[in-house]
Amino acid sequence: MPDSTAFFSNDDRKLTRRGFLGVSAAALACGAGAHAASRPNVVVILFDDAGWRDVGYHGSEIQTPNINRVAREGVELNHFYVCPTCSPTRASMLTGRPASRFGILTPIAGRSTHALPSGVLTLASLFRDNGYDTAISGKWHLGLRPEVGPLKYGFAHSYGYLHGQIDPYTHLYKNGDRTWHRNDQLIEEEGHATDLITAEAGRFIRSGRDRSRPFFLYVTYSVPHTPLAEANRWTERYQAIAEESRRLFAASMTHMDDCIGQLLAVLRDEGLEEDTIVFFSSDNGGQQQEAGEGYSGKFRPSPKLGDNRPLRGWKGELYEGGIRVPAAVRWPGHLKPRKEDQALGAWDVLPTLASMTGLTLPGTAVEGVNAWDAIRTGSQVQERVFYWRTPDEMAVRKGRWKLIHHGASLANGTNELFDLVADPYESKDLAADNAPLVRELAEELGRQRSKD
């Protein structure tokens, strides 16, 4: 396959009359255009299936110098929780609520018509309504058809793909469906998805945005999710890795990391570093293996992919390896480098970014907490319950205790109880010796389940 590197062009976009009216209304909604312009920009970067030990700063053999830099220069979120699979994490991060509230328990796949409900508050709609220019470049995965694409949820510019996985070069979904789009209209383009996503994000920052307003940019990479295909310039540095699938996984991470470095350079060159909050995380823990890609034999099975050590479990599971991921936030001049060990989650991103940018949340059912003071100073976050649900399992964490219920309903199944302070790697199930605590947490599970 040809080597494909990221590039940035200067295809300036014109603001239509309709767009101008929308900008004017947004400026009025936030009080004044000048006030909006003084607010920081926000860039949220989401990896796809990167595990705990798939970043260099966690001891990986994978080279991720730019990801390491963001963590080193910002606040490393050492206990950041997401959902165990793709669509649920994206729903939680964009809405500030558990994805199960919307019935999103698994990746939206195939030709499903399931989508994030229309009219729900999202990060993009919150920023749009407060005078921000908003854009997504990359994976959407909260509605597989153009009519439920990102433009319907607060994004003014959308680019990338609607499905959960694609061939990185043809950009087709595994059943052959087209999914690559610009502004929710299907298109055909050449190039590696990692490079195209980066190029569009860089183009938006440099020439595609309204410079009179701050911006919110959501950059959602397709890697290291399978299927994987990488040019020699990325794979050759990992010849010491014997298993081809892990070698491709590592190469895709380093390719993405290089592109993240390009985006950081754009912010620097545009004089935006101190005016821009950069946050990254993975959307779930690493996947152990992939038996078949469903691309008519084009891609080989992947017996070894992610690395979640020393955490237990994998993508799709409610053990820590499936839901605790690398994450960090960087804001030069505003955040001092440090590590935050308090438990935070994807559902906290919306209220936290709202606070960091000086926005007021409307009266809505956001369930995440504002963790800005915790990130800035390490002050204690209010005690709350973390809740996860998949079709076959559910879990809660309250303080140091985590209960996993293996079963689709509380009436059936088994429980495991872990003390995450004494046993962060979940090596010892304490359920049999702590029946009252198990009952208490099971009751909390029932309360949470009733809200879905």
SS3 string, 220-258, reads ECCCCCCCCCCCHHHHHHHCCCCCHHHHHHHHHHHHHHH
Banded pLDDT at 195 (limits 50, 70, 90): very high
Q: Is pLDDT at 363 greater than 90 in this prediction?
A: no
DSSP-assigned beta bridge partners for residue 41: 276
Of 16-25, 258-267, 382-391, 411-420, the one with minimum mean pLDDT is: 16-25
Domain for residue 433, yes or no?
yes
Domain for residue 307, yes or no?
yes
User: Which domain covers residue 425, as residue numbers?
Assistant: 387-450
Domain for residue 391, yes or no?
yes
Q: Please check whether residues 218 and 246 belong to one and the same domain.
A: yes
Cis peptide before 436 (omega within 30 of 0): no
Q: Is pLDDT at 32 greater than 60 in this prediction?
A: no
CATH at residue 399: 3.30.1120.10
- Residue 208 near residue 13 (C-beta atoms within 8 A): yes
CATH at residue 178: 3.40.720.10
Q: Please check whether residues 164 and 144 belong to one and the same domain.
A: yes
pTM for this model (two decimals): 0.92
Question: What pLDDT is attached to residue 364?
Answer: 75
Q: Please check whether residues 344 and 431 belong to one and the same domain.
A: no
Q: Please check whether residues 251 and 190 belong to one and the same domain.
A: yes
Domain for residue 18, yes or no?
no
- Annotate 258-314 with DSSP letters as a single string: HHHHHHHHHHHHTT-GGGEEEEEEESSPPP--BS---STTSS--BS-----TTS---
Q: Please check whether residues 57 and 40 belong to one and the same domain.
A: yes
Mean pLDDT, rounded, for 78-95: 98
Q: How far is CA 228 from CA 179, 220, 290, 439, in A?
A: 17, 16, 11, 44
Domain for residue 335, yes or no?
yes
Query: According to the 3-state scheme, what is the secondary structure of 363-408?
Result: CCCCCCCCCHHHHHHCCCCCCCEEEEECCCEEEEEECCEEEEEECC
Number of domains in the chain: 2
Banded pLDDT at 351 (limits 50, 70, 90): very high
Which of 382, 397, 415 is the last residue before a domain boundary? 382
Q: Please check whether residues 69 and 123 belong to one and the same domain.
A: yes
Find the catalytic residue in 141, 163, 171, 405.
Answer: 141
DSSP state of 178: B
Q: Please check whether residues 174 and 120 belong to one and the same domain.
A: yes
DSSP state of 62: S
Domain for residue 11, yes or no?
no
Which of 382, 400, 434 is the last residue before a domain boundary? 382
Question: What pLDDT is attached to residue 293?
Answer: 76
Q: What's the CA gap between 330 and 155, in Å, rounded?
A: 23
Find the catalytic residue in 30, 83, 86, 259.
Answer: 86
Domain for residue 6, yes or no?
no
171 is catalytic: no
Q: Please check whether residues 359 and 416 belong to one and the same domain.
A: no
Q: How far is CA 201 from CA 136, 148, 159, 276, 447, in A?
A: 8, 21, 9, 14, 41
Of 87-101, 321-335, 360-374, 438-452, the one with minimum mean pLDDT is: 360-374
Q: Please check whether residues 267 and 396 belong to one and the same domain.
A: no
225 is catalytic: no
Domain for residue 24, yes or no?
no
Q: Please check whether residues 410 and 348 belong to one and the same domain.
A: no
**Can you tell me whether residue 433 is helix, strand or coil?**
helix
Each residue of 263-285: pLDDT tens digit?
999 999 999 999 999 999 999 99
Q: Please check whether residues 187 and 46 belong to one and the same domain.
A: yes
Which of 335, 355, 382 is the last residue before a domain boundary? 382
Q: Please check whether residues 105 and 131 belong to one and the same domain.
A: yes
